[in-house]
Structures are given as structure tokens and as C-alpha cells.
Amino acid sequence: MATLASEASSDALYLLHEGTQYQSYHFLGSHVEERSGQMGVNFAVWAPNAKQVNVSGSFNGWDGSNHQMSLADGVWTLFIPELGEGTLYKYEIVTLDDECYLKSDPYAFHSELRPGTASIVTSLEGYEWQDEEWLANNTSNQFLQQPLLIYEVHLGSWKRKEDGGFYSYVELADELVEYVHERGYTHIELMPLEEHPLDASWGYQVTSYFSVTSRFGSPKDFMYFVDRCHQKGIGVIMDWVPAHFCKDAHGLTRFDGTPLYEYADSRKGEHPTWGTQVFDYAKPEVLSFLISNALFWMDVYHIDGLRVDAVYSILTLNFDREDEDRIVNEQGGDENLEGIAFLQKLNAVVFSRYPNALMMAEDTSSYPGVTAPVENGGLGFNYKWNLGFTWNTLAYMKKNQEERSSQEDQLTNSLLNAWDENYIIPYAHDEVVHSSKSLLGKMSGDDNWQRFANLRVLYIYMMGHPGKKLLFMGNEFGQIDDWNSEASLEWDLLKFEEHQQFEHFVKNMNHFYIAERALWELDYEPSGFEPINAEDKSDGLVSFIRNAENDDEHLVIMCNFKPEAHEGYRLGVMRPGRYQEVFNSDKQEYGGSGVTNDSTLVSEEWTCQDCPYSITVTIPPLAAIVLKYIPAKG
């Protein structure tokens, strides 16, 4: 890594203050290096408004008076000989008001495990990566036409040890990675792993953006985890939190005695509901910090992409703000023009260096063009979470059968705007916490059989709906209780047959999804989807066709959201030929009633449901079937 004292340091600082220094972690922070034949540690920190900054640590009894740093162009530096890896340290900030306090290093590569808050001198060099094949095959922007099936994980609660302790990155690299691989997922999405003081924040309130959390091991342990994922053909996405940071005293808040990383105007600089502070996106050094951090996880840890949290709060000045506290921009609107510019710059820079990166927006707003290219005025993400689909379908599935008859639009409205953005369909962690019930717990039904059947048909509808897919851990085997971030998932449920059958269903569904190009190849092209327009909008039946680029490769999907079976149902289809049932959520092996279509179905030239041909099919109760088209010969 480069050092601040190199010949190019003035250029590096110029770019830092311009907001275009995208590898600022190369010279800011602590770095083990050699100076004049002597090994030691070079410390560098941006704190332009401090009166004095000293290095305080385990090596000087936490008294920095003998290790004063020198200031040049807003950055304080000091080389201390004979120090090395493992040294605990903080920066002793003396403010213009002569107050003195200790701050963790914003660019530290490793930090103490809570409740400790010291930074740890750590080298990130020397790990021997074994993921060359993954990187070699990951060279073109191909994901829009590839399957993307994401398993969202909170590492602290996927599985706990008998004593309640965490599994390490190294242990998870074997057990979790193999689990995900066997079940057909293409990617793991990790809830935030930047160092954070409070377990209950799940990592969304960060203090050290360049420190992978020490809860599960060392930085090189995490490299091993990512490496093992890639060797198994699994991509790694990490949740990233550039929208806000926590107010803990050792963190970024009022770092040099002034609002340095946050907006000085408290109306813009705080999220009152979250109790956090907002980055000042107008400040060039903050842009250098954030964009360097995004690239850091890709540069150093080979992360394949970032899910950017709370995008809506970056887009607007009035997120979660009362009307009387409303503020406006210079154009009279409530858009945060600086936040919008930051997101556009972030994505432009990331894709200029990593064209195949996955940049996903968790955005609850209706802001247009989230996944449109920056050069066309968009934000430049390549994916956006479709939370409208999530909320509407779950609201429908909670309803009893009598209520559902007039509410089918909740299921199908998302098809009206399915191509407005490049959507990911998520059933994520936010849907199963805070007494909101697990996905299984949300399902209506008179008994467990109906609840499981409801969840199976919902999952097939999700898999058939245009857009890539995400499922939070535990939902693959029918977790019963809310997600508890302080304990293991309910693995003991797999002792019971109905949960074993449901896990078997999800595993088979995942592999079916991966194998069928029609379910993902044209996700973002209207030609990849054809509705089958049934006249009765209250019968609980939703039918549609999914197409691949090959015109003869398509699937007919029929979902029955009511407990009545339909024998001899005439279903409209668009093409003449034969149709074979290739997936059925009602199979007995999945816990269903066993109503299937065992014979090949042959189309007739009989107009039905706005389609020129039709077939006669048996539709099982509370279930989905998938029919594969077999072209007519000759």
C-alpha cells in the first residue's frame, strides 16, 4: 500500500479534498511500514479543525502527550518506530476549545470487540486468494440475464454455539457456505459487517467503516470466508450503510470537535427517529471517505456487490420529518440534491472500476430512475428492491379466504410496473422482526397444513414473478417465531416432518429456478412475461407465462390462492403443442394433498382467456403448478 510520505502524497491529498480520492485508505489510518531502515507504524487522520492530535495507545499508557502528530493540509501524521500489528490505539483530539477526548480511527482496518472501542494496527496484505476462477468468469455485465437467488444472512444468529457464542468466519466458511451451496442459492447477502457497538442494531449503526467486525474473527478470517464462497460458486453481497452513523462518542460524531463528517445544520444532520447522524454529502472529503469505503470492500475483500441501505433517506431532506420541521433545497423542493449527486457519483465510480458489481438500492420511495444509467439522469444502481411487491403480497396472504375475494389486485398490481426498474423481489429480515411474525406465521389458514400450503404457493408466485429473488434465513424451513438476532434460528423445527417437507420443497424450488432460463433470462424485458387474463378476478387464480430468449422455451405458471381444487379447468395458452407439469407445490413429498397432472396436456385450438389455444388442467388447492411447453412437431 502507498504511504502518505511518498512523493505522490500531495496529489493524494489534493484528490482527497476534491472528493475524488477513491483509495484514501491507502494512506489514511495506520500502516505498518519501513522508514529509514526501521519498521514502525505510520498514523494519518483527517481532522482539520483540531488544535492538536496525538496518538494514544497500549504502548504509551494511553497518554499521547509524547506522540504528537504534525498537521499538513488538514491531515495529521506521525510515524512511530518499533510498533507493529496488534497495537491498540486511538487518536487523542484536542479541540479549539481545549477539550480533549479519544476517537477511534475512521480508517482502522480492525477494531476491538465491544465493549472495547480501540482501533488495532492490522495489515491486510499476505492473504493468498484461491478465487481466480470466480474472478476470471466474472468479467462481463451479465447478471441481468442470469439467475440471481440471494440468501440473506445475519451471521450472529444464523447459528449459535451451545454456550451462546458466535460461529467464526472460518467455521461459517465451511458450514454456512456448504448449506447455501446445497440449496442452490447464487449469492449470500450479509447484513452489515462494519464494526458497530450495539448487537441490537444488526450492524446498521456503524462506528468503524473500514473494520470488518471482530465478533466473528480477524480480517483475514473474513477473507477466507469470501474466498470459500467464491470457490463454491457463490457471490457475496454486503449491506452497506452510507445514509447515517451512530452518535457513540468514540466514532465519527463531531470528530475534531466540529461537525466534520455530518452536516453542521442539525436539521439536515440528524435522523431523530433513529438517533443517528447524516453524512454531509456536500463535503468533498466525506465523498472520498464513502466512495473509498465502497471500493475498499471490493478491492481488499473481493466483495461482489453492495446493498445500499436506506436510500430514501439519502434522496430527501425530510425523511421521517414532521411537517412543521420541513426544509427545502435551493430549488424549493425537498430532494437532497447533494445526496442524489453522491449516489450517482458512487455508482459511476464503482462501475468504472468493477463493471460487473452488484449495486442494489433498498429504497422505499417512488423516485424514478433508480436503476437508470447516470448518464441518462438516473441514480445508476443496477437493482432496486421491490418492497411494494413484498408488502402487498404479505398483506394479501394474511387475509382469510372471505377477505381475499375482493383483494386480488394486491397480488397482481406489481405486474403493472414490473419493468419500471430492475427489481429484486425480497422477503427480507424487516418482514420477520419486532412481533411482525415469521413468513409462516403471517399466512392465514385454519391449521398448519393451510399455512404451509399458503407459503408454498406464495413462494412459487415469487419465483415466477419478474425480478431476481431474495429470501431471509429461516424462511427456507418454516421458522415459526419472529427472527431473534440474539439466538440461533429454530433449527430444532427440522425434527418435525412438516418442516422437513417444506425445506425439501424450497430446496427443489431453488434448483428448479436455476435450471429454467424462462424464470430469469428476460426478467427485465416485457417479452419475458405474458399474462393469462382470466375473467373472474375473485377466484384466487393467477396465471401467466414466462419466456426465455429461445421462443420455444417457456413456462405456464398457475397459482391457486384458495383451498378449493379445480378439476377440468380450461386454461388459455398462447402456443400449440404439449404441456408437461414440471413443478407442483401440492406434491405429497412437500406436505401437499397430492393433486397433480401426471399426463402430458395437449393444447386445443379453443380460444380461452384471450389466448388462441387452451388446455384442460387440474389445479390443486392452495398450490401452484408449473407447466413446461413442448413444441408441436412439424
Strand boundaries in 73-207, DSSP class E: 75-81, 88-94, 100-103, 119-120, 149-153, 187-190, 194-195
Identify the active-site residue in 195, 239, 280, 362. Answer: 362
Identify the active-site residue in 285, 309, 363, 421. Answer: 309
The enclosing H or E element of 317 equals none
Which of 610, 542, 548, 600 has its CA nearest to residue 574? 610
Beta bridge partners, 100, equal: 94
φ/ψ of residue 235, rounded to 5: -80, 160
Spatial contact of 234 and 181, defined as CB atoms under 8 Å apart:
yes
Spatial contact of 380 and 351, defined as CB atoms under 8 Å apart:
yes
- Tell the residue number behind the cell numbers 477473507, with chain if given: 223
Q: Write out the three cell numbers for 399.
A: 387475509
φ/ψ of residue 345, rounded to 5: -65, -40
Which of 575, 570, 572, 581 has its CA nearest to residue 628? 581
CA dist 498 → 427, 481, 491, 588, 590 (Å): 21, 16, 13, 11, 8
Is 409 part of the annotated catalytic residue set? Answer: no
Cα 540 to the chain's mean position, in Å? 32
Spatial contact of 3 and 42, defined as CB atoms under 8 Å apart:
yes
| Cα gap 520→167, rounded to integer Å | 34
φ/ψ of residue 170, rounded to 5: -65, -45
Is 362 part of the annotated catalytic residue set? Answer: yes
- DSSP code per residue over 318-348: TTT--GGG----TTSS-B-HHHHHHHHHHHH
Pairing of strands 208-212, 245-246: unpaired
Spatial contact of 523 and 144, defined as CB atoms under 8 Å apart:
yes
Cα 383 to the chain's mean position, in Å? 10
Strand boundaries in 490-576, DSSP class E: 529-532, 541-547, 554-560, 566-573
Residues recognised as catalytic: 309, 362
